[in-house]
Amino acid sequence: MEAFSMRSEIAGRITRLQPMLGNSGLDGALLVQKVDVFYFSGCDQDAHLWIPASGEPLLMVRKSIERARQDARLDAIVPLGSFSQLPDLIHGHQHSPPRRIGLELDVLPARLYLTYAKHFPQCSLEDATSLVRRVRMIKSPYEIDCISRAAAMADNLLAEVPLIIRNAPTESALALELEACYRRMGHPGILRTRAFNSECFYGHVLAGKSSTAPSNAPGPTGGEGPGPFYSQGAGHGPIRPHEPVMVDYTANVNGYVADQARTFAIGLLPEKFQRAHRVMCDIQNAVAERCLPGATAADMYDLALQMADEAGLSEGFMGHPEAVPFVAHGVGLELDEWPVIGRGIPMTLKAGMIIAMEPKYIFPGEGVVGIENTFVITPNGLQKLNHFPDEICTV
């Protein structure tokens, strides 16, 4: 039953991509990025996946062909000894040579591109990134179920924080305990991102002054991290009473992630932290109320900015000293999927999209407060998948 359902799931994804390829004038897409190959085949082997604009896809596997035949939910699976075999394999599979090939140019290394150009000299190599990402952006019931289960896993983790935070002297000590909890719950211990040079390990555990350290993290918070070799997330900063502690850890079920964050504190926080946190929750709720299918991402972002400004919290909203130009991002098999609720993004929101909304506020040199929850856009608006209370959790 599982194999049948996953085969149907994969077939549906391919069926949605193929008309988009044809309408773009592409003969097919040659996919090599691991997550895209998994999404459209069901396996994560070292492989090239040819999806023609019409007809059956072809999975060409460098390693491991045995594992690919076990995991993939496709019929045409063949070994690939060298890149020079690609043209003949594709030509033989579809009985005509392609003329326009779509590639994942957002992530494809230049060396691979030049290799393809060498072996397909008569072909136009074009960018199919937006087509692939648009298909992946709308989640199926199966994907929504996986992400919902991941959100439930995250709720269970957050419930553990009050039980262990008092005995965690530092950010890294708390992170260690949380990661052990996640692994016991079945978390595979991996978090995938798409953006070039983007890395993330579970997420961020940030406390007090350390949480406001600038970093290269693509989100609103960074942290000191373990050192200059990885300058984000949990470091060696102390966890002190009456200072905010941000736990921003992703959960993972079957490769699908849910992203959420909560603010904790040992003892009451000063009123300015409490007020800023309430405003962040108000922003989340107001945007969620208006995030109906047909709304535009840019308008939702503008609403969040307006509310922060009206509360006198523009400076420090979504980062300090540099603020990120978004308030929510898509999640799925990767942490940084479409859509993005951000500045000037004209994308129309649709049912089936899943976003992680994260209004956060930074007090420079003092701490971070805010919220993050994973939502699915339904025909009736946003449905929150996390259920752990949004309020500051005081222990």
Mean pLDDT, range 126-142, rounded to an integer: 98
Residue pair 51/18 in contact by the 8 Å Cβ criterion: yes
pLDDT, tens digit, for every residue of 282-318? 999 999 999 999 999 999 999 999 999 999 999 999 9
- Output the pLDDT for position 96: 87
Tokens representing residue 318 in the block: 């979504």
pLDDT, tens digit, for every residue of 205-261? 999 999 999 899 999 999 999 999 999 999 999 999 999 999 999 999 999 999 999
Confidence band of 3 (pLDDT split at 50, 70, 90): very low
Q: Is the pTM of this model over 0.85?
A: yes
CA distances from 278 to 4, 103, 307, 366 (A): 47, 45, 12, 18
- The rounded distance, in Å, linking the Cα atoms of 109 and 104 is 10
Please, what are the domains in the chain?
2-136 (3.40.350.10), 138-394 (3.90.230.10)
Residues 6+ apart with CB under 8 A from 110: none
Confidence band of 1 (pLDDT split at 50, 70, 90): very low
Host H or E run for residue 16: helix 2-23
Beta-bridge mates of residue 28: 52, 101
The percentage of the chain sitting over the pLDDT mark of 70, rounded to a whole number, equals 99
Residue pair 32/112 in contact by the 8 Å Cβ criterion: yes
- The rounded distance, in Å, linking the Cα atoms of 295 and 297 is 7
Residue pair 245/206 in contact by the 8 Å Cβ criterion: yes
- The rounded distance, in Å, linking the Cα atoms of 157 and 50 is 40
> Assign residue 144 a region: left if phi > 0, alpha if psi is -120 to 50, beta otherwise?
alpha
pLDDT, tens digit, for every residue of 27-65? 999 999 999 999 999 999 999 999 999 999 999 999 999
- Output the pLDDT for position 193: 96
Which amino acid, residue 389?
Answer: P
The CA radius of gyration of the chain, in Å to the nearest whole number, is 22
pLDDT, tens digit, for every residue of 267-279? 999 999 999 999 9
Residue pair 341/297 in contact by the 8 Å Cβ criterion: yes
Residue pair 189/220 in contact by the 8 Å Cβ criterion: no
Measured in degrees and rounded to the nearest 5, phi and psi for residue 207 equal -135, 135
- Output the pLDDT for position 95: 82
- The rounded distance, in Å, linking the Cα atoms of 7 and 136 is 16
DSSP letters of 325-348?
SEEEEE-SSSSSEEEEEETT--PB
End-to-end CA separation in angstroms for the chain: 46
- The rounded distance, in Å, linking the Cα atoms of 28 and 31 is 10
> What b/e sequence results for 282-303 when a residue is b if at least 16 CB atoms lie within 10 Å of its CB, and e otherwise?
ebbbbbbeebeeebebbebbeb
Tokens representing residue 82 in the block: 């060298």
Residue 84 DSSP symbol:
G
342: pLDDT strictly greater than 80: yes
157: pLDDT strictly greater than 50: yes
Tokens representing residue 109 in the block: 């290394």
Pairing of strands 393-394, 256-265: parallel
